[in-house]
Structure 1
Amino acid sequence: MSRIGKKPVLLPAGVTASIDAGQLSMKGPKGTLAIQLADEVTYTLEDGQVSVKPVNDSKRARSFWGMQRTLVQNLVVGVTEGFSKTLEITGVGYRANAQGKKLKLQLGYSHDVDIDVPEGIEIKTPDNTTVEISGIDKQKVGQVAAEIRRWRKPEPYKGKGIKYRGEYIFRKEGKKK
């Protein structure tokens, strides 16, 4: 049986939750988020916590159980603290610059790469080689970071490219004479 699914999600002070019209919505200091309710699990909202239980003992219901509980937990963390990812750019002449709702990347192509920042996401560039992506929706933050990284993935010989902070790039030895 799932261990993570058995723990209820505690709602901190300042966070309110409501279940209506097939959606679970959370409202907190950073904003409002909602998820679609799954038919395989039941959600109960009582005394400052949300509990998730499977509808029956089928394999499908049990497999949804832990994931739905994690999605509810992500809503709580998103509306209270938010999520962030940091990208590091390595390479001669590779630069990033956030300009309003656009991110301009110079990645060694013959043209600059302009990326539109989606609603609900904030991008900062503390220096030319660091991009900080933050927002309240974990999925959106990760998706934007992956789309930026896709423009120039780190290569194993010199390590040039865009990588997540803390990511290990397996390095290869070059050709020998």
Structure 2
Amino acid sequence: MSRIGKKPVSLPSGVNAQISDGIIEVKGPKGVLSMPTVPDIAYVIEGNEIRVNPANDTKRARAFWGMQRTLVSNLVVGVSDGFTKVLEITGVGYRASVQGKILKLQLGYSHDVNYDIPEGITIKTPDQTTVEITGSDRQKVGQVAAEVRRWRKPEPYKGKGIKYRGEFIFRKEGKKK
């Protein structure tokens, strides 16, 4: 029995869900998100909640149960509240700024790094060393954050680079004389 799968996903006010042709679609104030359903899982919309249950007693159905409930929950949270990832830039001369639909990063290379902001994603830079990535699709927000971070991962000796807020960078001691 999946502990996560047993919990119903509640629909906040202003959020509607419907299932048709093997696709679950959730509409809310931040947009519309959809995902394909899995045949081994039964999705039931009752009033203001969605229940996710295994359709049969196979190992595959039990394995997909909790994950599918979490994916449905991510759709509901995405269209109602949205998701945010915050990146922090550490290093002398390292900075970021947004110019139109381009994130401009100065990361110690001989050239600036220009990252095109994809559709459905909003990037803000409250200051030069903080990048806030916001959107309704959790997977897309995480993917964009990972792509930006990939330009200069934090290194363990001086701690320079781009890291997630709250991420711990294990620091190493340098070479001894």
Q: TM (normalized to structure 1)? A: 0.98
Counterpart residue number, 2:150: 150
Counterpart residue number, 1:93: 93
Q: How far did residue 39 of structure 1 move? A: 1.4
Matches of 2:55 and 2:30 in 1, distance apart? 32
1:130 aligns with 2:119: no
The aligned runs of 1:40-119 (5 Å cut-off) are 40-119=40-119
Q: How far did residue 100 of structure 1 move? A: 1.1
Matches of 2:172 and 2:39 in 1, distance apart? 48
Q: Please list the CA deviations of residues 112-154 of structure 1 after superposition, one character each: whole Å capped at 9, or x if unmatched.
A: 1100000000000011100000000000000000000000000
**SS of residue in 2 equivalent to 1:92:** coil
Matches of 1:147 and 1:141 in 2, distance apart? 10
Matches of 1:18 and 1:161 in 2, distance apart? 43
Q: Where does the alignment leave 5 or more consecutive residues of structure 1 unmatched?
A: none
CA root-mean-square deviation: 0.6
Counterpart residue number, 1:30: 30
Q: Where does the alignment leave 5 or more consecutive residues of structure 2 unmatched?
A: none
One-letter code of the match for 1:58?
T
Matches of 1:100 and 1:61 in 2, distance apart? 45
Matches of 2:43 and 2:102 in 1, distance apart? 39
Matches of 1:127 and 1:47 in 2, distance apart? 44
Q: How far did residue 23 of structure 1 move? A: 0.6
One-letter code of the match for 2:105?
L
One-letter code of the match for 1:56?
N
Matches of 1:171 and 1:97 in 2, distance apart? 28
Q: How far did residue 46 of structure 1 move? A: 1.3
1:7 aligns with 2:7: yes
Matches of 1:32 and 1:22 in 2, distance apart? 16
Paired-residue identity, %: 72
The size of the alignment, in residue pairs, is 177
One-letter code of the match for 1:16?
N
Q: How far did residue 175 of structure 1 move? A: 0.4
Matches of 2:54 and 2:16 in 1, distance apart? 23
Q: Please list the CA deviations of residues 85-115 of structure 1 after superposition, one character each: whole Å capped at 9, or x if unmatched.
A: 0000000111101111110001111111100
Q: How far did residue 55 of structure 1 move? A: 1.6
